[in-house]
Chains A and B, each alone.
Chain A
Amino acid sequence: MTTTKKNASLGLFASVQLALFLLCLLASTSIIGTIVPQNNPAAFYVERYGAATARFFQLLDIPDMYNSWWFLGLLTLFAVNLIVCSADRIPQVIRLVRRDSLAIAPEQLEKFPLRSERHLVEDVPAAAARVTTLLRRHGWHARTAPLNPGLLCCAEKGKWSRFGVYVVHCSILVILAGALLGSSAVAHKVFRNPLFAFKGSVMLPEGERTAHIFAHKGGERLDLGFALRCDDFTIEYYGNGMPKTYRSTVTVFDGGAPVQTTDIEVNRPLTYKGVTFYQSSYHPFQEYRVALKKQDGSAATTARISAARQMDWPEGGVSYGIINRESQGEVTRRLKIWFTDNQGEPSVFWVNADQEAAIERPSGIYLLTIGQRYATGLQATKDPGVWLVYGGCLLMLVGLYIAFFLSHRRIYVYMQPDETGCHLLFAGDANKNKVGFENNFAQLINKLDSNT
């Protein structure tokens, strides 16, 4: 099929051999990035592999191989292969699907893989009625046409399933297109608008507000067009000390006014104006937030204190401080508090972080909550391609189902008059699951036998 030079390269791209080769290459090269740690600073590679190897790695972009020119090149070839190969074959399939199945010569029926012959003692119209009723009763759409000197009946199922493969191939392209649309590199270089698609993060201390985040690639500062305030960050623990919940309570400010207050947890992100915020990390400060009030409600205060520093609350007439801490890493789990209203001995007790403690003093009961101050680490993502990717995934599952589990099946019955009645030639074929179809075919003919 290849006569000119142009056709030769087209022929290459239309070939399945190339597809097999590319699949092989993609599978084997992908392994590299699972062995060589990705996206570390240059010094890491020098230290781990030596200067010469590290230089070689840099040359081939191994430290970021899934974004390297050669890997993306392979993916591009793969996509081109897929497009050309499918475009090359789809016209044939369209022709095949649109062809009138009744326009077939009797000689061709002889070549069908499944054939069976029968004789009925009735004329052709009666036999035709019998056959078409049987086929229809079993869900086949049967049509007939005269074919000298008798009648041809054709029943078909699943003609459109021949497109299943191309649905799968198309879905791969849709997914790739979605990935491109959501890539920050494309946003930069093609759309020249870093805000079109980005991935970044921000570390936001409790009580503070920000209107920008920092991109992961290059650390560029991106202005969101609205602001986010972290009102509170909490960690909850299970009884055995494992973390149960990381939760940030945030308020969105748009045009200077607060528009919504929401909790962000792992697996429960917040989306506002196309930007999605994920709970991704946190940072504990060695500083504590105190909420203190008298139980009768006559006075209340909040404060920020450090450890081993005395704090006075003149309106309440008390002084307090942290005299000891129990920590896991940088996270304080329990605190030892010293508390006095200058009447009698001071109270000294342990309290869990963020848990309210009631302190009985001669001057009344005080309620104290003390917890560490955190910054919450939020990842912020804008990915306009994600729905394309999801659509492609859905399309792929549908396509795979069609391609694998549905097949194009045909049954022909050629009825010819003879001396004693009517001669029937059954012919059938299926493009997939031939064994299953063979059984169907035989069962249908058995039904006919037992009905006559």
Chain B
Amino acid sequence: MDSSQLFGIAMIAYLLAAAFYLGLFLFKVERIGLVGTLLALGGTCAQTAAIGLRWHESYQLGVGHAPLTNMYESLVFFAWCTSCFYLALEYRFKTRIMGAFVMPCVAMAMAYASFSDRIDSQINPLIPALQSNWLIAHVVTCFIGYAAFAVAGGLGLMYLLKQSAATRPNRSGRGMTDALPSVQVIDDLTHKTIVFGFMWLSAGIITGAVWANEAWGTYWSWDPKETWSIITWFLYALTLHARFTRGWRGRRIAWLAILGFIAVFFTYFGVNFLLSGLHSYGSA
């Protein structure tokens, strides 16, 4: 068994998990949700093993390095972080239904990494610019932040759904969103997730700056990736301040969580594929 097969298994587990979580959302049968959780857990375990194996394989090829160095590996790592973060949240807050909003995103990231012809899944040796321990610190911190923001975006969506269902009296008896946690709980979770993500995004930007200074002699050069990461950071700082000091809650924060995730998404993908700069290893 090699790592790509294990990644395939993880991808299938995530796709099924997403389907079951959506099933839970639609039919509200708790057992369906349990299957979703087990699949997500299984997928995460398989992926953990796959990442470890890929790391090992890179050493066997004589180009050993942590599997965090190109678009494929970062997507996989993003999926893994998001899934881990989600499972921890599910365990802590006992709200399985969130999976319907998060797991599709994980499954999509994995499927895109595996099937897109823009993405090369080969293990390649590290070019000189990437040969630094800061690479690991930078990628790990950034992606924990991204994972949290992905979850926060999903929660924002969930909030809007729940709220629009609550304000519109239901005609057909029980609504789809009844099983969702109350708006207060979603709101609180969104906020906590954003706070967590903001810590890590800050750390990610900082480790990136230190690395840039080590490699190029400038900690900040306003290249598109850096700029978009600081735009994202501004946006979340704005969200936090609006909440702390202006008392924004609910709808507005939910929208900002979604907007924030769009910014994250653009920082990650848009910049690589649409703009040019030092970071665009993704298009190579």
Contacts and interface: CB of A to CB of B under 8 A. Distances in A.
A243 B128 contact: yes
Interface string B53-74: 0000000000100000000000
A137 interface: no
A226 interface: no
> Size range of the interface on A?
35 or more
Contacts of A245: 128
A179 B219 CA distance: 10
B217 A199 contact: yes
A242 B219 contact: no
A33 B125 contact: no
A246 B246 CA distance: 53
A145 interface: no
Contacts of A244: 125, 128
B218 interface: yes
Nearest to B242: A20
A278 B214 CA distance: 8
Contact of A243 (B127, B217, B227, B276): B127
Contact of A31 (B127, B215, B231): B231
Given A27-B231, A265-B128, A381-B218, A20 B202 contact: no
B238 interface: yes
A46 interface: no
Contact of A389 (B127, B195, B219, B231): B219
Nearest to B271: A34
B6 to A, nearest CB: 24
A267 B132 contact: yes
Interface in B182-214: 188, 195, 198-199, 202-203, 206, 209-210, 213-214
Contact of A266 (B129, B188, B231, B238): B129
A386 B238 contact: no
Contacts of A265: 128
Contacts of A276: 217
A400 B210 contact: no
A243 B275 CA distance: 24
Chain B interface, DSSP helix/strand/loop, else mixed? helix
Nearest to A25: B234
A379 B227 contact: no
Contacts of B271: 34
- Name, among A24, A179, A404, the residue most crowded by chain B CB atoms within 10 Å (CB to CB): A404
A27 B235 contact: yes
B125 A400 contact: no
A396 interface: yes
B23 interface: no
A134 interface: no
> Size range of the interface on B?
35 or more
Given A19-B241, A20-B238, A246-B128, A386 B199 contact: no
Interface in B217-238: 217-220, 222, 224, 227-228, 230-231, 234-235, 237-238
Contacts of A380: 217
A34 B272 CA distance: 12
A243 B220 CA distance: 26
B199 A280 contact: no
B234 A266 contact: no
B245 interface: yes
A161 to B, nearest CB: 14
A238 B63 contact: yes
Contacts of A397: 199, 202-203, 206
Contacts of B5: none
Interface in A51-77: 66
A379 B128 contact: no
A242 B217 contact: no
Interface string A35-54: 10110000000000000000
Contacts of A269: 214, 217
Nearest to B225: A34
Contacts of B63: 238
A349 interface: no
Contacts of A401: 199
B216 interface: yes
A105 interface: no
A280 B195 CA distance: 38
A190 interface: no
B234 A23 contact: yes
Contact of B216 (A34, A37, A278): A278
A190 B63 CA distance: 49
Nearest to B195: A404
A242 B227 contact: no
B95 interface: no
A240 interface: yes
B124 interface: yes
Given A30-B227, A266-B129, A24 B238 contact: yes
A435 interface: yes
Nearest to B133: A267
A267 B214 contact: yes
B164 interface: no
A390 interface: yes
B202 A400 contact: yes
A325 B124 CA distance: 28
A20 B198 CA distance: 17
Given A267-B129, A267-B131, 16 more contacts: A19-B241, A23-B238, A27-B234, A37-B276, A243-B127, A244-B125, A269-B214, A276-B217, A278-B217, A279-B128, A386-B219, A389-B209, A397-B206, A400-B202, A404-B199, A435-B188
Interface of B: 63, 124-125, 127-129, 131-132, 188, 195, 198-199, 202-203, 206, 209-210, 213-220, 222, 224, 227-228, 230-231, 234-235, 237-238, 241-242, 245-246, 271, 275-276
6 contacts: A27-B235, A34-B227, A267-B131, A379-B216, A397-B199, A404-B198
Interface of A: 16-17, 19-20, 23-24, 26-27, 30-31, 33-35, 37-38, 66, 179, 199, 238, 240, 242-246, 265-267, 269, 276, 278-280, 379-381, 383, 386, 389-390, 393, 396-397, 400-401, 404, 435
